Amino acid sequence: MIIGIYTYGTRGDVQPYIALALALMEKGHRVLLSGPADFQDFVEGFGVPFFPLYGNAEAIMNSPEGQRILKTENSIKLMKYYFKVINEMKHPLRRSYYESISQVDCIIANSATMPIVSAIAEKQQKRVAYTYFMPPLVPTAEFPVEDLRLLNFGMYNKLTYRIVHSLFWKFIKTNVNEYRKELGLPALKESLLIHVDRQKPLDLYCLSPSLIPQPKDWEDNHKITGFLTVPNSQRELHSYDKASEALLTWMSEGERPIYIGFGSNGIGNQEKFIKILADLIAGNERILFCTGWSVFRDLPSHKNLFVTKYVNHEVVLARCKVGIFHGGAGTLAAMLRNSLPVVIVSFYTDQPTWGKVVERNILGVHIPVKRLTSEKLMAGIHRVQSADIARNVMAMGERIRKERGTERAVEEIERYFNS
């Protein structure tokens, strides 16, 4: 049996599936991971078979139009741009999905790939399990959608999920039914989420139950299993994440630094960010800055600033005092696993939601990127080093380190595909 894993987006959308693929392979399963073509070297560097889906995610973000929209720091414009680009390349993208899925026996997908994968799986009569790294969107009376946490009682809480499902369907309805027609499938008159849920697929939320406990009123196919984590032994071997001798030497030569990294979220307003970096350095802070996909030309040069593209989080974060990042679930997992207080500077999608979760659990501070200033960031850095947040991140880190997120996910997937 070959298990196909399908994801699309940035590194944060790919890396957790490397953890899942490695764990499945260790249990003797054959795996094919499919994602944007620019991640081929990254994935295959871990020894995971890869099928390139059409498109280059990094090129999309660093294109002139992508950079112009990033500079506006407008999350709605960013999402519209993403949907526009995906729509423009939908035909070769669909063909690449179909070619890959034709090679596998069963499928693991997520919300980004669901619109295409669900149709092909239905056409080819293949079972699908869904995995997510965002706060749950499965209706429950216990709590509302995080971004609509205005009230908290059963009827209202369930209503918030219907609202979000309706908005999601509005965005994807035309493309979903267009592709279903192309495959000879009937058009959907109900939301894709409702259609998929009627089939009772395995639905795994791969996030910590210590952050968001599983509701008691969920059906059995919905589960919160814990974060997916690449084993550190594998990360150490991977060239993308090796901590250089220069970095380790720099970190040992002074006080614990502040980690700053926004991963695959391009920093559009670079002038603002460079000024903020300079202000932090002037305030005698040591900064480890990971540029990710952003390309800078005029970063300040200073003994208290170390600049690199990526780092091994498991090696570096334990030696830092604060983590400043975009709010991606994978980086959040690494921060909390290392008991690091966080400042989330959110850009779009589920990042503001994770910012709210972090603040609600008193684990850090959330600042939307459009509101980011030197003064707000400095205040946030001071706040997250307070005694109450320090206690909470220590306790949360201890709980997360004991969770078996990857193992639990594999157990559920094996049970589902073998049933």
Mean pLDDT value of segment 97-112: 97
Tell how strand 222-224 and strand 202-205 pair up.
parallel
CA separation for the pair 117, 154 (Å, rounded): 33
Contact, 329 vs 349, CB < 8 A? no
What CA–CA distance (Å, rounded) separates 323 from 334? Answer: 10
Handedness of CA 285, 286, 288, 293 (dihedral sign): positive
Judged against a pLDDT cut of 90, whether residue 237 lies above it is answered with no
Count CB atoms within 10 A of the CB of residue 229.
25
- pLDDT-derived band of residue 236, with 50, 70 and 90 as boundaries? low
pLDDT at 239 over 80: no
Query: Which of 67-71, 74-78, 267-271, 277-281 has the highest average model confidence (pLDDT)?
Result: 277-281
User: 35-39, 264-268, 327-331: lowest mean pLDDT where?
Assistant: 264-268
The pLDDT tens digits of the residues spanning 376-414 come to 999 999 999 999 999 999 999 999 999 999 999 999 999
**372-397 b/e (C-beta count within 10 Å ≥ 16 → b):** bebeebeebbeebeeeebeebbeebb
Judge whether 2-54+89-227+404-418 and 232-402 match in fold: yes
Q: What is the mean pLDDT of residues 38-45?
A: 93
- Architecture per CATH, domain 232-402, reads as 3-Layer(aba) Sandwich (3.40)
Q: What is the pLDDT of residue 266?
A: 67
Q: Six-digit token pair at 322?
A: 């604060």
Over 70: is that where the pLDDT of 238 sits?
no
Instruction: Indicate the domain borders of the chain.
Output: 2-54+89-227+404-418, 232-402
Q: Average of pLDDT values for 268-286? A: 92
Residue range 2-54+89-227+404-418 forms a domain whose CATH class is alpha beta
Mean pLDDT of the chain: 92
Q: Is the pLDDT score of 216 beyond 80?
A: yes
**Neighbouring-strand partners of residue 6:** 34
Of the pLDDT bands very low, low, confident and very high (cuts 50, 70, 90), residue 82 is confident
Strand partners, 324: 260, 343
Looking at residue 376, what is its pLDDT?
97
Cβ(4)–Cβ(108) under 8 Å? Answer: yes
pLDDT over 70 for what percent of the chain? 96
